[in-house]
Amino acid sequence: MSVLSSLKLTMAKSRNTLPPVIHRRNKLIGRLNEQVKLATAMREGKSYSSTRTRIVKNKETGESHAVEQAKRVRAWWFAGEKGKSFLQVKYGAKTLELMKGKNSVEVSNDAELIQILELIKKAVESGELDQQIEAASER
């Protein structure tokens, strides 16, 4: 008896791509994670920069190799009038409208900022912002 005949063999098709809505959610969740790390670093008085891997080709030898480079992360929050801070969620270069006619969240301090970012991340994971992400991703 062969080894393969002892296995349960079937015909299956691999699905390599994610649906666009899941891909967009994952992209926004990754950016929200960066914002949480940035807010935490700023709260501790440190700086934060994300890294990305780039393929660089040596001009002399023609060989390619991977190099990690720092990527600047821009804060999604800003100081408004009367000492209040406001958080806007961005998808690419566009600001998402969280509710009809409202695109920012008022934040009172750094600890609340991190909590709000975590809440928004949960909302994205559950699909509450799918329509806004879809609208922002259209050209």
pLDDT reported for residue 26: 93
Confidence of residue 4 (pLDDT cuts 50, 70, 90): confident
pLDDT reported for residue 14: 74
* Residue 86 clears pLDDT 70, i.e. is over it: yes
Residue range 21-42, pLDDT digits in tens: 999 999 999 999 999 999 999 9
Confidence of residue 94 (pLDDT cuts 50, 70, 90): very high
SS3 readout for the chain: CCCHHHCCCCCCCCCCCCCHHHHHHHHHHHHHHHHHHHHHHHHCCCCCCEEEEEEEECCCCCCEEEEEEEECCCCCEEECHHHCEEECCEECCEECCCECCECCEEECCHHHHHHHHHHHHHHHHCCCCHHHHHHHHCC
Greater confidence (23 vs 4) lies with 23
Confidence of residue 89 (pLDDT cuts 50, 70, 90): very high
* Residue 91 clears pLDDT 90, i.e. is over it: yes
The pLDDT > 70 percentage for the chain reads 99
pLDDT reported for residue 1: 57
